[in-house]
Structures are given as structure tokens and as C-alpha cells.
Structure 1
Amino acid sequence: MKISVLAGPGMSTNILLNWLEDQGYSNVEAIIESKVSRGKMLRYRLHRLGFLETVGQIAFIVAVMPFLRRNAVERQGKILEQYGLRSEVNHSTPIIAVPQVNHPVVEGLLRKREPDVVLVNGTRIIGKNTLDAVKVPFINTHAGITPNYRGVHGGYWALRCNDPANFGVTLHLVDRGVDTGSVLAHERVTPDTKDNFASFPVLQQAASFGALQRVLTELSRGHLPKTLEVDSVFSRQWFHPTIWTYLVGRIKGIR
């Protein structure tokens, strides 16, 4: 089976590419987009969320995240060991760097390669031209249970909403919305007391690979797995917490 991966740079992409290689998927090519510039991200947040929310998010990222990352290193290692995963850049997958996932060059790369499936991991929202480049499933692994927890940090927000039963991950078909595509699988997992905001996504990704293996097996047999009928009370796109939101949650015991 011929697999194309559309992804952003980072640890989760390394984990995915290593997993594909370890599972024997040898016909894989990765198209990696560059990070969004800080200036562009700042302008987006100001426009979408307003000044106060943006300042609070930046304060969280600058003042709190480095502390959380340092404290999550050991736990992340334990998760990877438990699930038999690797995060180092130690795979033989061909990598093609592109400015961003919606650049015209990506359409050309997909058309030329004609993959059987496109796996999406941590990219910008994919636009119509890229999605229409090839008539195959685009499948995203989202760190949250959709449609309740779209956007980012879905596991954290489930805990903040006193909804631990929906701490998990979603495999879904990609459409032009934000994590709004038809659901292929929900996988729920219980975080350890040693987990925190920085290790939650690693745990969620680790829990996704059983479902991803089932989906890829079905596709290799020529079958698109059935989508789930999701009965949800609400649907919301979530963003980074502000520093004050996080500290309130921390007082409540949510790390």
C-alpha cells in the first residue's frame, strides 16, 4: 500500500513515521510543512480571539510550558516504552519539505505519487485544492474526542470540563472544517497521575495506533472502514488555555 503523510515538523510526526516503518509499511513518503511563523500566529490569534485572550495564551506558552515540558520528559519516555514507540529521527522515510500544506507544489506531489491513502498529522487546515488533488481518503489523527473537543489539546479540555470519559483520540476523514470530518474511530484512555499538559498528547497518540492499524488493514484490502454515528451534546473548537485558565485548573488538580 502506498502511503503519503502530510505533517508538521515535531515529535508526533517522528513517532508516526517510525511506527509506520516498524509496522512494515515501506512505501511511505512524507511531505512536511514548515512551522507557522510567530508573527502570523499572533495576528491570527488577535483576530480570532481578541487581545486579552491572546496575551493570556502567550503568557501560558512562555511562562508555563517550558516547566511542563521539563517535567513531562520522563513520563513521555515511559509512554513510548510502554507502547513500543520511538520518537527519534531514525527512519528511512523520504522527506519532502514544503512551505505549507496548501502550497501548489503539494497538489503536484500528490498527483504524481497517486497514494492509496494520505495520513495527516499536525498540519494547518487543509484547503480544497490539496484535498481534491487525489481521490483517496485523507485521515487525521486528532488528540481529542470529536466533535466535543475539536481544535487543540482535546484531552486537557476534557479533564477541565470534568469529562474524563472523553479523554482520548479520534481518527477521522479530513474535510475543510476544523476536525469536523466523519469519525472512523474513537479511542479513549485514562491518563496517569504523572501525566501533565505536555505528556497528554503523547499518551493520546500512543493510544491511536491500534485503530490506525485496523483502518490501514481495511484500506489495504480495498475497503474504507465504516464511519461512526456520533451522538454528541455539543461541538466546540478549543484553543490553548490562558495562563489564568491553566492556573485555575491546576488548583483543581489538573496538570
Structure 2
Amino acid sequence: MRTVLMCHAEDAFDRQGLAAWLASFSDLAGLVLIEETGEQKQARVRRELKRVGPWRLLDVLAMRFYYRFRLAAADHAWMDASLAALRSRFGDVPAVPELRVSSANAPEVATFLAACQPDIMIARSKQLLSKRIYRIPRQGCLVMHPGICPEYRNAHGCFWALAERDLDNVGLTLLRIDAGVDTGPVYGYFTYAFDEASESHVRVQYRMVLENLDALAQRIRDIAAGTARPLDTTGRPSGVWGQPWLSRYLRWKRAALARQPAVAPAE
């Protein structure tokens, strides 16, 4: 099975950890590394403004500041330890062709994929792929979406399931990309025993992948072999979510702490 990984260049978890994992059970044929421009990031903010309005955008920005100054240091330490464990288990990323682009849909991407001839591409990108890109791999492009689809499509599905107190739908969806936003065929759901009181939404999102690597690898093999069948999601509610809000984060954490069992006083 020949594979390609598409991810953001600055995301070490993907570029180092997941690339080595992918190479451990497939022939990793190449890496597409996305280096977004400041203009692209600004455009994403403008889209969020259009989607939620100016007052709610302030809630989004407040969440980003809160995460940066209150949560990021602990998550970075956890990430460093997780990457060390992945390197110990899977080794270093092998030397493979790399393509660095600002857009996942750049013409060079199509040329690169055609040369790599992948059976599967794993897309870990914030950018939506065009048909001419996701149709190149023989068995399509797969997404490990942080959220249960179709209920929690688009961004930060784990966060919103936690914030909505929909704890049975906190998980990861393995799906094949189509023309919609996380609307493609679903090939599996994965989760783990998360600790919502102590873990941040970012850590939960990454651990959804980390704790299910073996099961994900087997399902990807089955898809490449043509033996996997998509799950029936007919009739289920479909929701499109966006960036986390600080107001909902604080409400979620209060609810999570309230669910913690009381500690009996020492005798």
C-alpha cells in the first residue's frame, strides 16, 4: 500500500509522529507540507467573522488568548513526551520526497501526487481539497476528523460535543473526502477514556488519534484493499461547527468538574 501524508509543516505531531506511524505499515511515498501565508490565515478569520458575527468572534479570540496563556505550556510538554514515545515506537521518518506549498490545491500538488501514485492519502489539513486533488489516490483521500460525523462536522467536533454535554459523541471519525465538508463515506468511529476535567480540548483531539493508531492502521489497510464498507449514517442529524468559544469552554469545564466524584475526607 502506497501512501502520502498531507499536513501543515509546523505541526510536529503530524509531520514527525504520524509520518513515522504511516511508514510503519505502508510504503510512505511522499509528504505534502502546507505552509500557509498570513493572508490565508486572515481569510480564515474573516470567514469565521461572517459565520458567527463580531460579538461571537470576540469570544473566539478570547478562547485563543486563554489557551495560549493558560493551557498551551502544559499541552506542549505533553506533546513533546508523546512525540518521544512515537519516535521510540516507530523510529524516525524515512527520507521521502517532500513538496512544500501554501495551498493544498496548488497545481504542483496534483503533479506530485501523480508521481507518487498513492493508493491512499491521509489529509491533515485545514484547507478543503478540490476534486482534482482528492480523486488522484486510487482509494481516495482519508480524513481522521476530530468529531463524530455527521453530528459534529467541520471544526473542533470534540470540543463542541464536550461543550454540548454530548459525551457519547466525543470521538474521531475516519472518512473519505468528497465534495462536501466532512460529508464523505464513514469507515469507523474511534474514542478513548478521556478525562474531560483535566484534559484540554486540544489534548483530547490529538489523543483521539494517538490512542487509536493500531485500529486506524488496520482500517486504512482494509480501505486500501477494498474490503472495508462504509457505515450507514442515513437519517442522523448533521451539524456544522466552528472555532471554540471561551464562554462555552468555561461552562464545559464547570460541568465537567461538577461530574467528578466527591473525595471522601481522610479519617
Q: What TM-score bracket applies, with the shorter chain setting the length?
A: 0.7 to 0.9
- Spell out, residue by residue over 1:207-254, the C-alpha distance to the aligned partner (whole angstroms, 9 max, x if none): 33233211233245x324111112564211211222222222233237
Unpaired stretches in structure 1, ≥5 consecutive residues: none
Aligned to 2:212: 208
Distance 1:93 1:173 in 2: 27
Structure 2 contact 185–231 (Cα < 8 Å) conserved = yes
Aligned to 2:68: 65
Q: Is residue 2:153 matched to residue 1:153?
A: no
- Spell out, residue by residue over 1:104-157, the C-alpha distance to the aligned partner (whole angstroms, 9 max, x if none): 111111122221111111340111221234443211111111111112222222
How many residues align structurally?
Answer: 251
Aligned AA for 2:205? P
Q: Quick one: percent identity of the two aligned structures?
A: 22
Q: Is residue 2:189 matched to residue 1:186?
A: yes
Unpaired stretches in structure 2, ≥5 consecutive residues: 258-267
Distance change (3 Å), C-alpha of 1:232 and 1:209: farther
- The alignment's C-alpha RMSD in Å is 2.7
Q: So what's the TM-score if we normalise by structure 1? A: 0.86
Structure exhibiting the larger radius of gyration computed from Cα positions? 2
Aligned to 1:167: 170
Q: Aligned to 1:29, what secondary structure does the other structure show?
A: strand
Aligned to 1:8: 8
What are the equivalent positions in structure 2 for 1:30-179 lying under 5 Å apart? 30-35=31-36, 37=38, 38-76=41-79, 84-86=85-87, 90-94=92-96, 95-179=98-182
- Spell out, residue by residue over 1:131-186, the C-alpha distance to the aligned partner (whole angstroms, 9 max, x if none): 23444321111111111111222222212111211111111011121111110011
Q: Aligned to 1:5, what secondary structure does the other structure show?
A: strand
Structure 1 contact 170–208 (Cα < 8 Å) conserved = no
Aligned AA for 2:159? Y
Distance change (3 Å), C-alpha of 1:101 and 1:153: same
Q: So what's the TM-score if we normalise by structure 2? A: 0.83
Aligned AA for 2:245? T
Distance 1:149 1:67 in 2: 26
Range 174-183 or range 236-245, more displaced: 236-245
